[in-house]
Structure 1
Amino acid sequence: MKAIVVGTGFIGPVHVEALRRAGVEVVGIVGSSAEKSIAAAERLGLPCDITTLDQALADPAVDCIHLTSPNRLHFEQAKAVLLAGKHVLCEKPLAMNSVESKELVELASRSGTVAGVAYNIRFYPLCHEAAQRVAEGRVGDFHHVTGSYVQDWLLKPTDFNWRVLADDGGELRAIADIGTHWLDLIQFIAGQKITDVCADLRTIYPTRQKPVGGAQTFSGDRPDAADTEDVAITTEDCGSVMFRFASGANGCLWVSQTTAGRKNCLRFEIAGSQSTLAFNSESPNELWIGHRDQPSETLLRDPALMSQQAGKIANYPGGHNEGFPDTFKQLFRSFYGYIASEDRPARRPFPTFEDGHHEVLLCEAILKSHRKQAWQSVNADG
């Protein structure tokens, strides 16, 4: 299998590294210009022959295209990849609205190709362990779940990135950017969909200072005030979402990109009638298991001690930690393994375009709920 990565920002090179570790040959990386494509390819030690998406689409040697471009480009690019008859793995969100994401689902189902969304957080081994314990009934009846996903990279009004702009990233930002990772993960673990939401969101900085020369996520650059311009912001910096599952179980999520000291912290606590499971992505090799009538315990990531399903995505023995880059490697192994199996009726062991579409529907329901300040059903038929 040969792959092309589209996007040269933070996450594009992450895909390149993980693809290599997963045993997939990367034959190029494409940026917004030929110059950016060549510079990124040289920096990553990749061939420079392909410098545009159109070239990648026309090349019969390219099997799969990874889309890590800005959100507003996902729909047109994913559609073009599917129409070209190539496999596609798209970063979230799948599209800017549910009309677009539904069209992509329908196109993918007709194309005969394999299409997935890069919800990599599922692929921490202990998240798979949590899902398996829920599925086996070891947690008991699913009562409720609480959690958060918090960062601090937009803590200051001088922090700026294209994601804060609704035209580039979508009307939702913190929820769509990181909150959907949490929501996808919890539905994966619970084995059921969220059906209703009630949201309260907040824009802390209605105005941010945009560097005149542009800015890159996590670059660490702090432009001089004289080199910035004021830009109005309508997307949210933080917010809370209450929700209900199809079973009636409920929960609450807090999302923030303005929490000082938290660089990339996802947490959940799932309470069942028999036990509780708690996880923190900043300590991803530990799963806390709470009991009432016996001592609570901490399960350290160890293939010899976990379920078979979780052990399949843990490559190192206990005590040899695995982290964020490994989640992409395991996602890609799952995705390309499914392609290689050629068993299309089989269950797809990775986040699909259908999952990506549901997350877009969730985001639309969350935004409607916030604006109405009332509960909102998720439109499953959208």
Structure 2
Amino acid sequence: MRKLKAAILGAGFIGQAHIEAIRRIGFVDVVAIAHSSQEKADESAKSLNIPKAYGNYMDLLQDEEIDVIHNCTPNHLHFEINKQIIKHNKHLLSEKPLTLTSDEARELYLLAKDKNLVTGINFNYRQFPMVQHLRGMVRANDLGDVRIVRGNYLQDWLLYDTDYNWRLEPEYGGPTRAIGDIGSHLFDLAQYVTGMKITEVLADTSVVVPKRYKPQKGKQTFQTGTKENAELVEINTEDYCSVLVKFDNGARGVFTVSQVSAGNKNALELNLDGALASGCWKQEESFRLLMGYRDKPSETVLRDPSLVKKEALPFLHYPGGHEEGWTESLKNMMQNFYNAVNGITSHSDSVASFKEGYQIMLIIDAIVKSAETGCWEKVADIVD
């Protein structure tokens, strides 16, 4: 097997998580990193033991040694950087959201479609074994027809008015925050597991903390702040959103996202209510799946190779009781993505495509419009 060479753009929280996950799969070397300045790039390369450092990503794109690039930059940089990566014929794994607008997402989707490249988006929650098990149950009709889909993604890292991050600023994070940042994961997961498409939405949003203290020096995601050396600024992106949805098969759903719900660190939850049974998966308790029935006791299915559907087996690596979590989901993402790059397997449907990323942006468009109009809004069709 040929050892592939990878480069990372951006060395914040998620960029460092990518690096660790890549190194764990064993047949990819992280050979370069790019940052917003040469000084920062040199510092990150030294601390992360990466041989090459670039202060300008366009210089990195000229490096013929590099096979794959991971775009882990802030949201507002995704579109142009992704476009340049594809134009320079490098395989690409982008952080979500794919872009800030659906028009940009469509352009990338069409550009990638015409290239013989492996491209994907890091919707890593697809990669959990019990998510794959639940998806297998849906496909086997173990739940019966899925009638209702309920989900939430709750965090508390922006609970206080002293909590601040670049994601709060529309010019960097985009016109939506809770919706685009964590809601995109929830919408993708619901569609992926059920095989159903969201076609219509009715949304309500709120800026729960309308003013926050912005520090003079930026902080990484999830770091706490104080009022010292900080400026009180107005906030225009939502902390919270609840949305009713309709699916293409007539099923209904309701989703809530919040970044101001105390005690919830990364509480992604998906519930499927079928005609025969219900299934519930919680990311913070990812090793189990809760099953509910009307005529017999509820069950807890644990992450164990002897208990899960065969579709889930490639996504778990240790015996039952040896728990695997968020970091393993990233490792699975890298394994499936790089297997496709190396030609070992075809592109895995567990890796979200640019077409699927485009479709998520169309859902977000409809949610934003619905929050403005107070009416049901249809999700636009993908335009090839």
TM-score range, shorter chain: over 0.9
Amino acid of the structure 1 residue aligned with 2:367? I
Shift of 1:216: 2.1
* Gap runs ≥5 in structure 2: none
Matches within 5 A, 1:218-367: 218-220=222-224, 222-223=225-226, 225-341=227-343, 348-367=349-368
Distance 1:192 1:338 in 2: 25
Distance 1:33 1:289 in 2: 50
Is it true that 1:206 corresponds to 2:207 in the alignment?
A: no
Identity %: 40
Match of 2:65 in 1: 61
The CA RMSD over aligned residues, in Å, is 1.3
Match of 1:122 in 2: 126
* Gap runs ≥5 in structure 1: none
Distance 2:228 2:8 in 1: 36
Say whether the 8 Å CA contact 2:34–2:53 is kept in structure 1: no
Say whether the 8 Å CA contact 2:359–2:382 is kept in structure 1: no
Distance 1:266 1:313 in 2: 19
Shift of 1:49: 4.5
Match of 1:370 in 2: 371
Q: 2:174 aligns with which of 170, 192, 201?
A: 170
SS in 2 for 1:361: helix
Q: 2:15 aligns with which of 12, 16, 19?
A: 12
Which sits farther off after the overlay, 296-305 or 100-109? 296-305
TM-score scaled by length of structure 1: 0.96
Amino acid of the structure 2 residue aligned with 1:129? H
Distance 1:296 1:19 in 2: 38
Match of 1:216 in 2: 220
Shift of 1:380: 1.3
Distance 2:154 2:349 in 1: 30
Q: Deviations over 1:249-268 (max 9, x none)?
A: 01101110001111111112
Distance 1:169 1:157 in 2: 18
SS in 1 for 2:324: coil
Aligned residues: 379
Which sits farther off after the overlay, 207-216 or 170-179? 207-216
Match of 1:88 in 2: 92
Q: Deviations over 1:227-259 (max 9, x none)?
A: 111222110001101101100101101110001
Q: 2:115 aligns with which of 97, 108, 111?
A: 111
Shift of 1:343: 6.6
TM-score scaled by length of structure 2: 0.96
Distance 1:86 1:330 in 2: 21
Distance 2:378 2:331 in 1: 35
Which sits farther off after the overlay, 205-214 or 176-185? 205-214
Matches within 5 A, 1:137-152: 137-152=141-156
